[in-house]
Amino acid sequence: MMIKRRIPIVLLGLSAALTTLGVPPAHADEHETEPVEPPKVELVLDVSGSMRAKDVGGRSRIAVAQEAFNDVVDALPETTDLGIRVLGATYGGDDKKLGCQDTQQLVPVGPVDRVKAKNAIATLRPTGFTPVGLALREAAKDLGTGETTRRIVLITDGEDTCAPPDPCEVARELAAQGTHLVVDTLGLIPDEKVRKQLVCIASATGGTYTSAQSKEDLTRRIKQIVERAKDTHTKTPAKVAGTDVCAKAPVLTPGVYTDRERFEEHRWYRIPVQPGQELRASVSIGLDRPLNRDYGVLLRATATDGRELVRGNDAGSGRTDVLSTGLRWSAAEDDEDEVEDDDKGGLFTDSTEKAPEPAVVCLVVSNSFSAKAGAGQAPGMPLELTIDLVDASPAPNSPGLGRGWVLLGVLILAGLLSGLIVGWLTRWWVAVWRTR
């Protein structure tokens, strides 16, 4: 009966223990970073002569694109700023020099007047050349600079006929300028050359490539990208330039940064870490150009004297978008004690007690990427660095205590046995005493 009464106490204890385990942490709060700007997207449509081809279910490519655009304009979220730019729409002549300047903004980036936008789309007639590179540059200008991500959706059916500039180089150059620009590309019945070019543009900016074979493909994808622009437009990370030695490295505070790193380059950063704080850092390097198969990234934290504190690394092979790694570091408690002992030098004086200096931790990012023949060195590959400083989590200590059902069983058995032994001994002793 007593046992039965005790069991609920144990259960009560268990449930109390479970509640101390804590509640799950919240998601990285998206509202916290609510940007003031609306999401900005520009659609760039190729209206060159090849769009006349009637091969999308028996209809011309331009007609399908126009219809898809109308659907997208209809379904556009209220908060999204949309612009439309065309290329090869006006110049019908043979002069390449003139034809390759042929790109106009049809609808300026801003809240969309649906009727006006649709009217503008309806007037488009396939005409001229395909100056993709120039159109991308102009589109980036249309979107302007601001604190959030910008998206360009490039829809084309033919390869660039105006290189140089090579559109892929233009994309990489735009991405390196610091404005967070993503180019999503859509190929309308693309051939091999178009596919290669569009894949190159997309991967240079962290965008996606889709091949559209039908009007449904095209509409669905553009809608998805426009939606995505709304869902995922985040504040652009701060731009920073790491140096080649720690002593001159930029001093970072918690937050997200971007930088560029070339092959075999080391980039250093400094972070002041207060005693009792934990440094958390992660780094991603984007694979924005054709690279050899195997690669790696290494993030090391060192003290100012070059002693390594901790490292994070990752390696891989094959196709991927970014390679990332991270690390945590906090000063070990023992280290602090040692430092204090050294300060005191054996004298028990309080005068040496002073506020502890923040430790400066150097972070260095290195990579083991190598370029395929023909892949350029400059600008470096995109690097994203996340720094966070939080309270350090000291090592737990729970020695001398046990848990689990086996422990309870063993304790109960031991208790029972000792009770029996003591009982028998008492009886034996009483019997002996009585016989006396």
Partner 1 sequence: MTMPKAPISARRAAVLLAAAGFAVALPAAASAETPTPSPGAATVNKAGTSFLTAAGISPGQPVRVGASVGDYLYWSFTAAAGDTHHVAATVSLPAAASRKGDSTWTVEVFDGLRRRQACVAGAQTPVASKSAATVELDCELRQVRSWAEPWSGDPLPGTYYVRLSGIELPEQELGLPIEVSLLVGVESDGDTEPEGGNLKEPLVPAVNPGKVLAGDPTASTPDPAAAGDEEDGWFDWVRWPSLSSRWYWTIGGGILAAVAGVVGFALTRPRQRVG
Q: According to CB under 8 A, which one of 97, 307, 319, 434 is a site residue for partner 1?
A: 319
Give the footprint of partner 1 on residues 380-419 (CB under 8 A): 384, 386-388, 390-393, 395-409, 411-419
Q: Which is nearer to partner 1, 130 or 258 (CB)?
A: 258
Query: Judged by CB under 8 A, does residue 75 bind partner 1?
Result: no
Burial class (CB in 10 A: 0-12, 13-18, 19+), 278: middle
Query: Judged by CB under 8 A, does residue 6 bind partner 1?
Result: yes
Query: Judged by CB under 8 A, does residue 245 bind partner 1?
Result: no
Query: Judged by CB under 8 A, does residue 310 bind partner 1?
Result: yes
Query: Judged by CB under 8 A, does residue 164 bind partner 1?
Result: no
Find the part of the chain contacting partner 1 (CB under 8 A) among 95-103, 116-124, 367-375, 424-432: 424-432
Least Å from the CB of residue 126 to partner 1: 22
Find the part of the chain contacting partner 1 (CB under 8 A) among 68-76, 117-125, 164-172, 315-323: 315-323
Q: Is 5 helix (H, G, I), strand (E, B) or coil?
A: helix
With residue 329 as reference, give the H or E element that holds it.
Answer: strand 322-330
Burial class (CB in 10 A: 0-12, 13-18, 19+), 171: buried
Least Å from the CB of residue 351 to partner 1: 15
Residue 103, number of CB atoms within 10 A of its CB: 28
Residue matched to tokens 């095209």 = 218
Query: Judged by CB under 8 A, does residue 427 bind partner 1?
Result: yes
Give the footprint of partner 1 on residues 272-301 (CB under 8 A): 272, 274-278, 280-284
Q: According to CB under 8 A, which one of 271, 364, 365, 383 is a site residue for partner 1?
A: 271
Alpha carbons 329 and 363: distance in angstroms, whole number: 11
Give the footprint of partner 1 on residues 346-375 (CB under 8 A): 355-358, 360
Burial class (CB in 10 A: 0-12, 13-18, 19+), 416: exposed
Distances from the Cα of 294 to the Cα of 152, 318, 375, 380, angstroms: 31, 7, 15, 18
Which residues, 6 or more positions from 374, have their beta carbon under 8 angstroms from its beta carbon?
290
Q: Which is nearer to partner 1, 110 or 316 (CB)?
A: 316
Alpha carbons 46 and 127: distance in angstroms, whole number: 10
Query: Judged by CB under 8 A, does residue 71 bind partner 1?
Result: no
Query: Judged by CB under 8 A, does residue 423 bind partner 1?
Result: yes
Q: According to CB under 8 A, which one of 71, 166, 169, 217 is a site residue for partner 1?
A: 217
Query: Judged by CB under 8 A, does residue 190 bind partner 1?
Result: yes
Least Å from the CB of residue 301 to partner 1: 10
Give the footprint of partner 1 on residues 24-53 (CB under 8 A): 24-28, 30, 32-33
Query: Judged by CB under 8 A, does residue 209 bind partner 1?
Result: yes
Which residues, 6 or more positions from 4, have their beta carbon under 8 angstroms from its beta carbon?
none
Pairing of strands 322-330, 181-188: unpaired
Alpha-helical (H) ranges within 107-191 are: 114-122, 132-143, 167-176
How many residues touch partner 1 under the rule CB under 8 A: the total is 132
Q: Which is nearer to partner 1, 158 or 312 (CB)?
A: 312
Query: Judged by CB under 8 A, does residue 262 bind partner 1?
Result: no
Token pair listed for 364: 């260095």
Residue matched to tokens 């390097």 = 285
Query: Judged by CB under 8 A, does residue 327 bind partner 1?
Result: yes
Helical packing angle, 132-143 and 167-176, nearest 10°: 20
End-to-end Cα distance, the chain: 38
